[in-house]
């Protein structure tokens, strides 16, 4: 696990590094308190993958935002903040998506029994008005490109 202290520029650099590697289980979980930068990081990742002309907003009310990636794959950006019951996640088809399509999930603590076995994670903590303490790691099996990218990244 890497521990970092990043400003907004560093958070965007982290997003670019995360976009450049394969995520464990094709899933990246973003956690942290309200206002810690989860959506900012998701935006940086998606912009690094698809370009800055793509509008990236928080899926808090729509729950899921799909983004078409080159090669015909779809990236799913999910915000689980409003999820109250396991049945809601099941109704979204979360289990069918996990491991089959790349996913960025904010508020993963709401996933309950739907948490995948393999995933990358970023936990953000507010350390100041424009500074975040960041933990980056993985649970389960990680592709070699994940560790190589995380080891080589400079923020």
Rounded Cα distance, 155 and 152, in Å: 10
pLDDT-wise least confident of 17-21, 33-37, 81-85, 127-131 = 81-85
Residue 14 CA to chain centroid, in angstroms?
Answer: 11
Rounded Cα distance, 35 and 59, in Å: 15
pLDDT > 90: percent of the chain: 53
Provide the CATH topology of domain 2-146.
Answer: Rossmann fold (3.40.50)
pLDDT for res 30: 97
Rounded to an integer, the average pLDDT of 124-148 is: 89
When pLDDT is cut at 50, 70 and 90, the band that residue 28 belongs to is very high
Burial of residue 98 (CB within 10 Å: 0-12, 13-18, 19+) is: buried
Rounded to an integer, the average pLDDT of 134-147 is: 86
pLDDT for res 109: 92
Residue 102 CA to chain centroid, in angstroms?
Answer: 10
pLDDT in tens, 39-51: 999 999 999 999 9
pLDDT-wise least confident of 50-59, 105-114, 119-128, 141-150 = 141-150
Residue pair 119/60 in contact by the 8 Å Cβ criterion? no
Within 10 Å of residue 35's Cβ, how many Cβ atoms?
10
Q: Which region holds residue 36: left if phi is over 0, alpha if psi is between -120 and 50, else beta?
A: alpha
When pLDDT is cut at 50, 70 and 90, the band that residue 95 belongs to is confident
The domain spans of the chain are 2-146
pTM assigned to the model = 0.92
pLDDT for res 111: 85
Rounded Cα distance, 93 and 9, in Å: 35
For 66-85, letters b (16+ CB in 10 Å) and e give ebeeeeeeebbbbbbbebee
Rounded Cα distance, 101 and 138, in Å: 18
pLDDT for res 5: 95
């Amino acid at each position: 696990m890497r521990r970092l202290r990043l400003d907004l520029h560093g958070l965007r650099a982290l997003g670019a590094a995360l976009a450049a590697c394969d995520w464990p289980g094709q899933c990246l979980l973003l956690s942290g308190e309200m206002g810690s930068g989860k959506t900012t990081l998701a935006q940086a990742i998606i912009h690094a993958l698809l370009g800055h002309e793509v509008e990236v907003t928080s899926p808090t009310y729509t729950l899921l935002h799909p983004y078409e990636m080159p090669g015909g794959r779809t990236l799913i950006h999910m915000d689980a903040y409003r999820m109250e019951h396991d049945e809601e996640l099941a109704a979204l088809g979360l289990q069918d998506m996990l491991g089959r399509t790349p996913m960025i999930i904010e508020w993963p603590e709401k996933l309950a029994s739907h948490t995948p076995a393999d995933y990358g994670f970023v936990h953000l903590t507010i350390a100041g008005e424009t500074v975040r303490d960041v933990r980056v790691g993985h649970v389960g099996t990680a592709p070699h490109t994940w560790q190589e990218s995380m080891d080589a990244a400079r923020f």
